[in-house]
Chains A and B, each alone.
Chain A
């Protein structure tokens, strides 16, 4: 019987899972703010308390996420894509493709039946196509992100956004508001725009069902709906999608995988147009 912890520290939030073999003993999640290391320490203690354990009971701690190293108490680190793959295969054993859209990146992973990463593409250079884009647009629309997800499903017409940039998108949303376009229609246009970006990343690794979506945007029903339409495929959202990375890290810890390497295809948006007189 081995007790392990999986820690996932992303751009905005951290998720922690304490596991004993197949069983989850405790979980904790919350925003990390600027002092990430301190926030993670607190969340770790919270998860341990829920599990009725103390730090010395935990045999292995594996951390993942863009800020994984802030978990100074961890003794193993694996890349997010590896954690996603291990977590998803545990939650949805038939999964072949994982789409993870977080606050500051979007990625698509092709996974093997053993939960290993076969292929992996990522956009981490451009905010369009990430959760940050939705947040910025929700501010322009003056609704919460949750509200925006809801009203997306009430949209009655499909508009397409011209802007491919979060900064320009904000001005476009403002001008759509001025033109009295309804908020649901604008929200849908925003979700479709991100789904388009994510779809093109997913097509790089190849789409094979089942497609599973995780990350913060998986909780956004409006976005998931747009993504299904974009991919023309069903998209499965596992229960507690935010915990998938932490779960995957815990799985790695159980398997004794304290380090793993994955190679990414980094996706960069082509921004230059050439022309002749």
Chain B
């Protein structure tokens, strides 16, 4: 270990932003934004005529308005687009009612369902959004409309926050946990405590007993997969099954979940072939923001909202 920029904060995943060089926003008709202010991360997504134009993915700060601005400024950092040029902005996520530049808010369940439909395609039937402080499994139709859902927002086990706590405890950067959890001789028994606090004591005990770190990571990923299964069993999973949110990037959890589920989680690639061909980055944390921006497009198109564009 070592060599990380901030070695004390192992949970700190890299913040990213991106601009689509194939789009000139000035030629676009409708510019919408989705701001997904979650409990742990915030994403600002800007879409021009329904195509991904720019995004910023940042850590949520001390309050929602500040986090929304940080995300938006980060998304627009390398563009000459200003917030005043945006026709309509929708807030979503935990802090959705406190997004200063938004004209409206929509629940993250609707937005993740809609965003997953855009990212993974119309065949998606079950979306699992694994957020920072909650986890939702949503059944959707071919338009990305929510049919029904189950949610855990009461317990940190099975959420991104639980994984971050574990990363800090074992002192391994959070994005290394997945890959390292496969560098093992044999799959270890899973961490038996459900509660993150009790799992911490259990992990400390395992570390002291001399169990290899990679094995402990495998045991934790498997506990997480197991926890998510409880939720999925309640809902009934249908293929195409996709995962959005940060944990979707953790293969250690996803592959173990696939094994328990007996089906394969869809690969993390764009449904739109041109997005793949052009090499647009695919970030599972964007689903909520993309869904919100798309709702903005739809509302304007249907005349259910008026452009708030100032410049």
Would you give the shortest CB distance from A140 to chain B, in whole angstroms? 13
Chain A residues whose CB sits within 8 angstroms of the CB of B190 once the complex forms: none
Which of A125, A178, A271 counts the most chain B CB atoms within 10 A? A271
A126 adjacent to B155 (CB under 8 Å): yes
Residue from the list A11, A125, A175, A178 in contact with B194, Cβ < 8 A: A125
Given A104-B198, A167-B161, A167-B165, A276 contacting B148 (CB threshold 8 A): yes
Query: What residues on B are CB-neighbors of A276 within 8 Å?
Result: 147-149
Set of chain A residues within 8 Å of B234, measured between Cβ atoms: 272, 274
B-side contacts of A171, CB under 8 Å? 39, 133, 161
A-B contacts besides A126-B155, A132-B198, A273-B153, 5 pairs, CB < 8 Å: A34-B208, A125-B198, A133-B197, A171-B161, A277-B148
Beta-carbon contacts under 8 Å, B182-198 to A: 193-198
Q: List 21 A-B contacts (CB under 8 A).
A: A34-B205, A104-B198, A125-B198, A126-B195, A136-B197, A165-B154, A165-B156, A165-B196, A167-B165, A167-B196, A171-B161, A178-B62, A269-B155, A270-B154, A272-B234, A275-B109, A276-B147, A277-B110, A277-B146, A277-B147, A277-B149
Residues from chain A with a CB closer than 8 A to the CB of B148 are 274-277
Closest Cβ neighbor of B164 among chain A residues? A167
Bound-complex Cα distance A104 to B231 (A) = 25
Which one of B110, B152, B156 lies within 8 Å of A272 (CB-CB)? Answer: B152
Query: Does A127 touch B at the CB level, under 8 Å?
Result: yes
Query: Does any Cβ of B come within 8 Å of A166's Cβ?
Result: yes
Query: Which residues from 258 to 277 on chain A have a C-beta closer than 8 Å to any C-beta of chain B?
Result: 269-277
**CB of B137 to closest CB in A, whole Å:** 10
Q: Looking at chain B's contact residues, is the secondary structure mostly helix, strand, loop, or mixed? A: mixed
Residue on B nearest A175 in the bound complex, by CB: B62
Q: Are A166 and B197 in contact (CB under 8 A)?
A: yes
Contact with A along B134-171 (1 / 0, CB 8 A): 00000000000111111111111000011001000000
Q: In the complex the two chains form, is B198's CB within 8 Å of A127's CB?
A: yes
CA of A127 to CA of B199 in the docked complex: distance in angstroms?
10
Interface status of A200 (Cβ within 8 A of chain B): no
Taking the nearest CB of chain A, how far is it from the CB of B82, in angstroms? 30
Tell me the minimal C-beta distance from A172 to chain B in angstroms: 10
The 8 residue pairs across chains A and B that have the minimum distance between CB atoms: A127-B197, A167-B156, A277-B146, A271-B155, A271-B154, A271-B152, A276-B148, A164-B154
Chain B residues within 8 Å of A136, by CB: 197
- Bound complex: CA A272 to CA B197 (Å): 19
Q: From residue A70, how far is it (CB to closest CB) to chain B in Å?
A: 13
Complex Cα spacing A185 to B146, Å: 40
Given A271-B155, A273-B151, do A167 and B162 touch, yes or no (CB 8 Å)? yes
Cβ contact within 8 Å between B152 and A168: no
B62 contacts A164, C-beta separation under 8 Å: no
The answer to whether B150 touches A277, judged by C-beta atoms less than 8 angstroms apart, is no
Q: Which residues of A contact B (CB under 8 A)?
A: 11, 34, 104, 125-127, 132-133, 136, 164-168, 171, 175, 178, 269-277
Question: In the complex, A271→B7 CA distance in Å?
Answer: 34
B149 and A126 contacting across the interface, CB-CB below 8 Å: no
Smallest Cβ-Cβ distance to A105: which chain B residue: B198
Which B-chain residue is minimally distant from A136 (CB atoms)? B197
Evaluate whether A277 and B145 lie within 8 angstroms (CB atoms) in the complex, with A269-B155, A271-B154 already known. yes
Smallest CB–CB gap between B169 and chain A, Å? 12
Chain A nearest Cβ from B238, distance in angstroms: 15
Given known contacts A164-B154, A277-B145, A132 and B62 CB-to-CB distance under 8 angstroms: no
- In the assembled complex, how far is the CB of residue A35 from the closest CB belonging to chain B, in whole angstroms? 10
Find chain A residues with CB under 8 A from B230 CB. Answer: 272
* Chain B residues positioned under 8 Å from A164 (CB to CB): 154-155
Q: Which residue in A11, A126, A132, A274 is a CB contact (below 8 Å) of B150?
A: A274
Docked pose: A165 CA to B133 CA in angstroms? 10
Shortest Cβ gap from A108 to chain B (Å): 19
Q: How far is the CB of B223 from chain A (nearest CB, A)?
A: 13
* Inter-chain contacts of A11 with B (CB < 8 A): 201
Asked if A274 contacts B208 (CB within 8 A), the reply is no
Contacts A269-B155, A271-B155, A274-B150 given; indicate if A126 touches B162 (C-beta within 8 A): no
What residue in chain B is nearest A124 (Cβ atoms)? B198
Q: Is the CB of A165 within 8 A of B109?
A: no
- State whether B109 touches A168 (Cβ < 8 A): no
Q: How far does the Cβ of A134 sit from chain B's closest Cβ, in whole Å?
A: 12
Least CB separation from A130: chain B residue: B197
**Given known A34-B208, A168-B133, A272-B234, contact A132–B197 (CB-CB < 8 A):** yes
Which residues on A sit within 8 Å (CB–CB) of B196? 127, 165-167
Give the residues in chain B near A272, CB-CB below 8 Å. Answer: 150-152, 230-231, 234
Which residue of the partner chain A has the closest CB to B156?
A167
Q: Kindly state the separation between the CA atoms of A136 and B165 in the bound complex, as whole angstroms.
A: 13
